[in-house]
A and B are shown apart, each in its own frame.
Chain A
Amino acid sequence: MKFTRRTSAVAALSLSAALTLAGCAGSSNDSSSGSGDNGGSSGGKVTVTFLPKNLGNPYFDTSDAGGKKAVEEFGGTYQEVGPDTASPDAQVQYINTAAQQGVKALVVSANDPKAICSAINDAQSAGTKVITFDSDTSPDCRDLFINQASAEGIAKSQIDLISQQIGDSGEIAILSASANATNQNAWIEMMKTELKNHPNIKLVDTVYGDDDDQTSFDKTAALLQSHPNLKGIISPTTVGIAAAARYLSTSSSKGKVMLTGLGTPNQMRDYVKDGTVKAFALWNPGDLGYLAAYAAKALVAGDIKGKEGDKFSAGKLGEFTVGKDGTVLLGDPFVFDASNIDKFQF
């Protein structure tokens, strides 16, 4: 087929319309990409990019809002980017982009412990400090990891909660996120170790809801069907516990099968009040993002190198010390129940 002049004109017109749209979308978001050449020579401001596992996840909305607050406190420039699905290859493109932009620090929750490492190394050689939070990469490929809670601390709090709720005996199951999530697997391993102190509790199944509401909902239904004697479910993921609670709250198992895990107060408030859930745990993701941003600033300023024993100050959270393997621990998990849940809004 051939194109006439008129054809070309209209084609060019419609395409330029699409491009104009692109231009508008671009310029409205310009603030973060103002200065700097490739390779990290942007002005004096500390530019911090947050790269969550995926966008549109309320957990990361909260943590990144905490990061934004901290970045604004110390007068840096904040931006948040991310893929729409939590896959490592999509994340790599954003790490590459951060390297191209020459941002001073990249705060990332890793979708895979190894797959994003070479991209992180590229960014580091372009002068970007890389801090992982929430979900770590291999320790040798990032500068610092901000750990929300130690695996031991989380595992112990989860097992303690479920054992109190089911009277320290009976069948339990775990509803996790995706099967290769670094943090989930570490916690599940620690829970299994912790369960040795509770000989009457039997872990009968571990299922994966992929941090998707509908999948987690369906897996909860399937768990209850395949294990009629189930007494408790642990869901150490915010999406999973909310979906499981939604299923339980309208099922005949409500009040019979105990549910605990890691959840956010806003998601779980109704289920705590209607008795589906007695208590659950979490750290404050806002504090986690806040701490990560201050750690980024300390690294960029050269106050710390990410070595064990380095100390830095994190605004309202106080003083922190870098631990083994370049890890900074936020603190112990916090238990939410009917008595305190209304004090928290996140």
Chain B
Amino acid sequence: MSRTYAAHTQPLWRRVLLTRESAVIALLVIVTVYSLADVANFDGPLTLTYLLLDITPILLIALPMTMVIITGEIDLSVASVVGLSSVLLGDLHQAGLSIPLAALLACGAGLLCGALNGFLVAYVGLPSLAVTIGTLALYRGLAVGLLGTTAITDFPKNWTDLARAKIAGTSVPVVMDVVIVLAVVFVLLLHFSTFGRGVYDIGLNEEAAHFTGVNVARTKFVVLVLSGVVSAMAGVFFTLRFGSARGDNAAGLELQVIAAVLLGGVSIFGGRGRLHGVLAGVVLIGVISSALRLESVTVNVINIIIGLLLVASVVASSLLTWVTTKLRRIAPETPPTRAPAAGVATPERQAS
């Protein structure tokens, strides 16, 4: 699994249940049950379909974003890549290309976008925050520049219908197949491969990772390229779902993605986090937004609540580390049996 080994002095149930990921999943269950019981129409047949369609782009981009953040980097340009691939899909389709070919080329453009980010971060050694703020503006600028403020909306109906279609007999959109396949691939890559171990090692200590034989630059390059490609795929879906290619498509989506990843328990400082927590985080944000919209809460209030949730989740873990350190200093003579419970969040007990 991940490099975050549990303290094996504790019983198994505690190791499995008392994790950040379990907290998010529990919260997701609570919010869902509450919404089903108390929010009018949340239990209707349309809710699941719309909810999943709404969060699909976030689910997709959250997969590589988790890896990027675990290496201790960040990719702020993802929403701009979505916009750029959306515009390219529209432009290329209008130029006479078929949808699959145009989509493939759009994803190719996403790969190039990711490669530029990756090259500047991994090989030139610039900070990813600065690089991707730059490319956020650059890729968005290209997208808007290519199409102006107009929109391309004449996509073939069979493709736009496919983007919104449901798996026969269920209310689950067909596109979830793609999400599930990609999720499995990313889980294998991050949690069950040497490459994934490298991702965690870089996040925990880049220099140590280098000396243990991890190719730091190549790993960072690859995760940023993955981020570009998957963002472009999300852009293709976004465009077909709404049947509209616009330069300003998905503006601000990067914040929702990063919020979901952090909410799902990934440390912004790198080295920690698991994909199942992130997926639960994305669905949690989706459920909260959907339930609040059904309650006719305005969009500003929804943003405030999700913002608060994110801040609370980030602050909670930092605050806890600080509090436990203080407590240990005040009472250094903690009996050994209680030590794991009081001290796991402190640095010396963290994963190697």
Least CB distance from A83 to B in Å reads 6
Task: Determine the residue in chain B with the shortest Cβ distance to A185.
Answer: B150
Contact of B4 among A1, A84, A94, A99 (CB under 8 A): A1
A337 to B242, CA, bound (A): 42
A1 and B317 contact, CB distance less than 8 A: yes
A22 to B44, CA, bound (A): 21
Q: Which residues of B have CB within 8 Å of A30? A: 295
Q: Which segment of A2-10, A189-197, A260-268, A298-306 sits at the interface?
A: A2-10
Q: Which residues of B have CB within 8 Å of A82? A: 298-299
Least CB distance from B213 to A in Å reads 25
Contact of B164 among A35, A87, A118, A178 (CB under 8 A): A118
B44 and A38 contact, CB distance less than 8 A: yes
A118 and B243 contact, CB distance less than 8 A: yes
A15 and B27 contact, Cβ closer than 8 Å, known pairs A25-B301, A33-B296, A87-B248 = yes
Q: Which segment of B63-71, B110-118, B132-140, B286-294 sits at the interface?
A: B286-294
B294 and A1 contact, CB distance less than 8 A: no
Contact of B344 among A4, A55, A79, A117 (CB under 8 A): A4
Q: Which residues of A have CB within 8 Å of B154? A: 114
A102 and B23 contact, Cβ closer than 8 Å, known pairs A7-B317, A7-B345, A112-B151 = no
Interface residues of A in 7-22 (CB under 8 A from B): 7-8, 10-12, 14-15, 17-19, 21-22
Q: Does B153 contact A (CB under 8 A)?
A: yes
Contact mask A174-204 → B, CB, 8 Å, 1/0?
Answer: 0000111000000000000000000000000
Q: Does A158 contact B (CB under 8 A)?
A: no
Interface residues of A in 79-135 (CB under 8 A from B): 79, 81-85, 87-90, 92-94, 96-97, 99-102, 112-118, 122, 126
How many A-B contacts are there with CB distance less than 8 Å? 209
Least CB distance from A17 to B in Å reads 7
Q: Which residues of B have CB within 8 Å of A94? A: 293
A97 and B317 contact, CB distance less than 8 A: no
A6 to B320, CA, bound (A): 8
Least CB distance from B247 to A in Å reads 11
Q: Which residues of A have CB within 8 Å of B128? A: none
A22 and B292 contact, CB distance less than 8 A: yes
Q: Which segment of B45-53, B98-106, B184-192, B226-234 sits at the interface?
A: B45-53
Contact of B150 among A84, A93, A180 (CB under 8 A): A180
Task: Determine the residue in chain B with the shortest Cβ distance to A22.
Answer: B305
Least CB distance from B24 to A in Å reads 9
B320 and A7 contact, CB distance less than 8 A: yes
A6, A11, A39: most-surrounded residue (chain B CB, <10 A)? A11
Contact of A21 among B22, B160, B305 (CB under 8 A): B305
Q: Does A171 contact B (CB under 8 A)?
A: no
A38 and B238 contact, Cβ closer than 8 Å, known pairs A18-B309, A33-B295 = no
Task: Determine the residue in chain B with the shortest Cβ distance to A181.
Answer: B149
Contact of B294 among A7, A92, A101, A122 (CB under 8 A): A101
Q: Does B40 contact A (CB under 8 A)?
A: yes
B317 and A100 contact, CB distance less than 8 A: no
Q: Which residues of B have CB within 8 Å of A116? A: 242
Q: Which residues of B have CB within 8 Å of A35? A: 40
Q: Which residues of B have CB within 8 Å of A97? A: 50, 290, 293-294
Contact of A178 among B50, B149, B293, B316 (CB under 8 A): B149
Least CB distance from B49 to A in Å reads 9
B316 and A26 contact, CB distance less than 8 A: no
A26 to B35, CA, bound (A): 11
Q: Does A318 contact B (CB under 8 A)?
A: no
Contact of B242 among A3, A17, A89, A210 (CB under 8 A): A89
Q: Does B319 contact A (CB under 8 A)?
A: yes
A115 and B151 contact, CB distance less than 8 A: yes
B43, B154, B161, B305: most-surrounded residue (chain A CB, <10 A)? B305
Q: Which residues of B have CB within 8 Å of A274? A: none
Besides A14-B312, A26-B291, 10 other A-B contacts (C-beta < 8 A): A2-B19, A7-B18, A7-B345, A8-B18, A10-B320, A12-B23, A22-B305, A83-B299, A87-B248, A180-B246
Tell me the A residues contacting B by CB distance below 8 Å. Answer: 1-8, 10-12, 14-15, 17-19, 21-22, 25-27, 29-30, 32-39, 55, 79, 81-85, 87-90, 92-94, 96-97, 99-102, 112-118, 122, 126, 178-180, 208, 210
Q: Which 4 A-B pairs have the closest CB atoms?
A: A38-B44, A115-B244, A114-B153, A14-B312
Tell me the B residues contacting A by CB distance below 8 Å. Answer: 4, 6-7, 15, 18-20, 22-23, 26-27, 30-31, 34, 39-47, 50, 54, 148-151, 153-154, 160-161, 164, 238, 242-244, 246, 248-251, 267, 272, 288, 290-301, 303-305, 308-309, 312-313, 315-317, 319-320, 323-324, 341-342, 344-345, 349-351
Could you list 5 A-B pairs, sorted by A, with CB under 8 Å?
A: A6-B320, A7-B316, A8-B18, A12-B27, A100-B47
